Amino acid sequence: MNILVCVSNVPDTTTKVKFNGTQLVTEGVQWIVNPWDELAITRALELKESGAGVDKITIATVGLVGVEPTMRKGLAMGADDAIRVDSDPKDAFYTASQLAEVVKAGNYDLIMTGFESADYNGISVGAMLSELMGYASVGAVSAVNIIDGKLQIDREIDGGKEVLSVETPLVVSVQKGIAIDPRIPAMRGIMMARRKPLKVLAPVDADVYTEIVEIELPKAKSAVKLFDAEDVAGLVDALRNEANVI
């Protein structure tokens, strides 16, 4: 079984974002593997190492050359090879269209995407990719297992989970639970990652459906109203009669 993990390159989540017009000011920004994509790679590695029948793990990113260090992190974690589509990920549909070309050119049984990309928070690419490919898709995936060579997927539902069997090829959108701690690359992995193949593909023409035309900062919050630790009654009164929330 071959697994493709779609990896988005995002600013470290603690970044205090600043903008110049609609462009993120990238000075001082630390770039990371999108947290859910990192968990997806981790789970793919666990499956491969457990001898469940995973042959190869490939990562794919749509991005300009600046995303390569992040892709190398994915390789250092243990992915076998990487494919970069050499274009700005203009919007979700455009990005999914590029990834669809990557999928068509390969031979993948399972395609893993994350719940959302921690920059534009689109929550879109996974479902769009599966629709473009005509593949089955499962969202809100909290576990991926391979049992007797077949995929078994847990999907979160309200109050619990469903265990699904799904035909391959398949696109999943993974969330928390799929793996606990993201794999930390070891020194050996980092050394090996330098020599692993990272193929660059030219983008295909695709429509751009949405664009960000303005960034607006949220209104500054008014200062917190503090109550004395002895005045719990004061807090309850404020919640009842001022905020009207209880």
Ligand X SMILES: Nc1ncnc2c1ncn2[C@@H]1O[C@H](COP(=O)(O)O)[C@@H](O)[C@H]1O
Phi and psi at residue 112, to the nearest 5°: -110, 130
Shortest CB 12 distance to ligand FAD, Å? 8
In the numeric block, which tokens belong to residue 23?
């462009």
143, 153 Cβ separation under 8 angstroms:
yes
Applying CB under 6 A, among 125, 141, 144, 170 the residue interacting with ligand X is 125
87 vs 142, beta carbon nearer ligand FAD: 142
Residues 6+ apart with CB under 8 A from 60: 4, 5, 6, 7, 82, 83, 84, 85, 99, 102
Q: Which does 61 bind (CB under 5 to 8 A by kind): other proteins, ligand X, ligand FAD, none?
A: ligand X
Residue with tokens 């090879």: 81
Contact between 74 and ligand X by CB under 6 A: the answer reads no
Please report whether residue 37 would count as binding ligand X according to CB under 6 A. Answer: yes
172: left (phi over 0), alpha (psi -120 to 50) or beta: beta
Query: What is d(CA 82, CA 91) in angstroms, rounded to the nearest whole number?
Result: 21
Does 140 interact with other proteins (rule: CB under 8 A)? yes
13 makes contact with ligand FAD (CB under 6 A)? yes
- Which residues, numbered 142-181, are part of the site for other proteins (CB under 8 A)? 142, 152, 155-167, 170, 173, 176-177, 180-181
Nearest one of 129, 148, 115 to 38, comparing CA atoms: 115
Of 54-62, 175-183, 206-214, 216-224, the segment contacting ligand X by CB under 6 A is: 54-62
CB 35 within 8 A of CB 118: yes
Residues 6+ apart with CB under 8 A from 146: 1, 47, 52, 53, 54, 152
Per CB under 6 A, the list member of 63, 74, 182, 185 interacting with ligand X is: 63
Would you count residue 201 as binding ligand X (CB under 6 A)? no
| Residue 35 near ligand FAD by CB under 6 A | yes
Residue nearest to ligand FAD (CB): 35
The footprint of ligand X (CB under 6 A) covers 6-8, 34, 36-37, 60-63, 89, 92, 95, 99, 113-114, 116-117, 120-126
